[in-house]
Amino acid sequence: MHRIKVVNEVTELVPILRAVDSPVKLKLLQRLSESWLTTEDVLREFGKEGTHALLFFERLKLVDTRWVAREGRKTPDKSFHSYYSTININTTAPLAEVSEVLAIASMGDKEYARLEQKIFDSVGEAGRFFNDIAEELGMSPTRLKGLVKRSDKLEYRGHRVERFHGPTAA
* Every domain of the chain and the residues it spans: 4-89, 95-163
86-89 vs 154-157, strand pairing mode: unpaired
d(CA 65, CA 54): 11
E strand intervals along 60-114? 63-68, 77-82, 86-89
* CATH topology assigned to domain 95-163: Arc Repressor Mutant, subunit A (1.10.10)
Nearest-angstrom CA–CA distance, 27 and 96: 32
Task: Determine the pLDDT at residue 169.
Answer: 40
Looking at residue 168, what is its pLDDT?
A: 44
Amino acid at 136: E
Longest pairwise C-alpha distance within the chain: 56
Q: Do 95-163 and 4-89 fall under one CATH topology?
A: yes
Q: Cα dihedral sign for 38, 39, 41, 46? A: positive
- Residue 85: the pLDDT is 86
Please give the Cα distance from 68 to 99 (Å, whole number): 43
pLDDT computed for residue 167 by the predictor: 56
Chain-centroid distance of CA 116 in Å reads 14
- Model pLDDT, residue 108: 93
Q: What is the pLDDT of residue 170?
A: 39
pTM: 0.79
Given a cut of 50, the residues of the chain with pLDDT beneath it are: 168-170
pLDDT for the residue 158? 85
**Is domain 4-89 in CATH 3.40.50.720, yes or no?**
no
